[in-house]
Amino acid sequence: MYINVSDKGYDCIKNNAILFSTDESHYYLFDYIAKDLSSLPELFKQYVSKRLDTTTFEEKEDQNKIDELNSIKEILVSAHPYYEYAYKEVILNAIGKYFNELLVYSIFEKNLLSLDRTLEKKWYYSKLTCLMPRSVVPYSCYPTGFSPLDFYNKYKDWVDCQDYSPQSNDEELVIYAPHEMPVGFSEEIQLQNWAHGLLYFLLDRTAEHLKDLTLSQRIWLYGNIFHSQEPKIQVVRNLRFSPLAIYSILPDSKRNTFNEQSTPDYRYKMQELFYEFYVNRFNAKDGIPTNLVKPLSDAIKYVKTLKTETFHEEYKINNFQDLLSIEIMLMIQSGTRIRRCDNCGKYFVSLKRNTKYCKRNGSGLSCADEIRRKRSQKKYEENPEYKLYNRAYKKNYARVSSKTITQDEFYYWDNIAKAKRDQVMSGKIGISDFNDWLDQTNSLGSIKKLSREHAKFKGL
């Protein structure tokens, strides 16, 4: 996968197609940070328990039931679009990593197994394969690097100690042997914590204790506090001389030039334009040879008709951490500041210090709009004239229900009451006048009279 960076955000690309795109709002990243992943370990535990006894390592019968795995996939995919395209690798990796940790834990912490047994390839292969879901790897078609054999090799590297003898059983010989029962998907949860920590420490403009520091001071602090775990963010950056993707899923406005460039016509045109350059190599430092002046000026004439971008900056990503690293690094470089929305609690890009609400549009209204509406509603309801009207409304509405006044009579009264209430709100009449009027029309007789007068006035 590649990340193709634009001035607004980035496109995630695989096999020449854009998988998903982000903009400068970074909502995918922030929504991912806020997603609750805490149910993954338990779901995974339930899944494993149907397939393998984690004490005796006996294989179980229920191998076709993968409800929990479907739930895991659903949670991941809803957390970030990356998972939609990489969930297979993520799930296989979680299983392989868990299985290896389980073996080391069972041997060195629990003495349930012998190391030699687990190093028998056939034994290892059969136990791990029974955890690998057939729905994810039909016909054992494992993605490169995620087969049981790959995990076996990792396991062998991990426990490979020349000094080891079955009698010594010394856990010191194995580096990082887990002392607790391993947990599924711990890597995904740690990754989320890591990204959250970076955002909080470096970019959150409301972060307690940190908000007055400059960016470089915050980076220095972070680097020293988390030094042992996270010495650097590392990404591979390339400069391409032609666009990477076909841009097939983009809206027309964005894709016109790129689509053109993927057609046979375009490729033929390029052959024609640059043929002389393919067959006549030259040194740019010596200037343009005379026989190439004409082809060059033709090419220049052509490039001026293109709406082409000058270059294509891209990053190679091998996993989700690479993608998160790039996005966070780009935010750091562009001086992006973020804060938590006071309404939904999620991060958003904060352009102004005093903006407290994000513009996420969940249920039709954005957080900013929703708060504005709530505020004016509250203010409205706190008005004394509103309270007076409300009390009288409830009373008269109850009279309709008990049929002591008719629907029409209620309707006449309500129209006048509403008009008078609004007159109080706009300052045209005093609240005591409104209160007096409500008192006068409080009796059954006067409501009926009111409606008769209204009808007469309307000529009914």
Give the interface with Zn ion as residue ranges (CB under 5 A).
341, 343-344, 358, 360, 367
Indicate the residue among 47 and 347 with the shorter CB distance to Zn ion: 347
Q: Based on CB atoms, which residue is closest to Zn ion, 343 or 441?
A: 343
- Coil, helix or strand for 238? strand
Nearest distance, CB of residue 359 and Zn ion, angstroms? 8
CB-wise, 340 or 420, nearer to Zn ion?
340
Give me the least distance between CB of 346 and Zn ion, in Å please: 6
Nearer to Zn ion, 307 or 352 (CB): 352
**In terms of CB distance, is 72 or 341 closer to Zn ion?**
341
Residue 311: both structure tokens together:
């270059």
Tell me 52's DSSP state: B
Which is nearer to Zn ion, 316 or 372 (by Cβ)?
Answer: 372
Q: Is the dihedral of CA 169, 52, 48, 318 positive or negative?
A: positive
User: To 5 degrees, how large is the angle CA 403–CA 406–CA 409?
Assistant: 140
Place of tokens 């955890």: 131
- The secondary structure of residue 16, as a DSSP letter, is T
Smallest gap from Cβ 369 to Zn ion, in A, equals: 10
> Could you write out the three-class secondary structure of 337-380?
CEEECCCCCCEEECCCCCCCCCCCECCCCEHHHHHHHHHHHHHH
Rounded to a whole number of angstroms, the minimum distance from the CB of residue 360 to Zn ion is 5
Using the structure block, give the residue that is written with the tokens 């029409």: 408
What CA–CA distance (Å, rounded) separates 146 from 93?
A: 7
Closer residue to Zn ion (CB): 358 or 388: 358
Tokens of 326: 């790039």
Residue 75, Cβ neighbours under 10 Å: how many? 19
Q: How many helices (H) and strands (E) does the chain have?
A: 18, 7
Q: Tell me phi and psi for residue 17, to 5 degrees.
A: -125, 145
Q: How far is it, in rounded angstroms, from Cα 196 to Cα 192?
A: 6
CA dist 69 and 58 (Å) reads 20
Q: Measured from the CB atom, is 4 or 343 closer to Zn ion?
A: 343
Cα 280 from chain centre:
50
The residue among 199, 195, 194, 196 whose CA lies nearest residue 331 is 199
- The string of DSSP letters for 150-169 reads HHHHHHHHHH--TT--TTT-
Q: How far apart are CA 30 and CA 345, in angstroms?
A: 10
Q: Beta partners for 349?
A: 338
- Residue with Cβ nearer Zn ion (199 or 405): 199
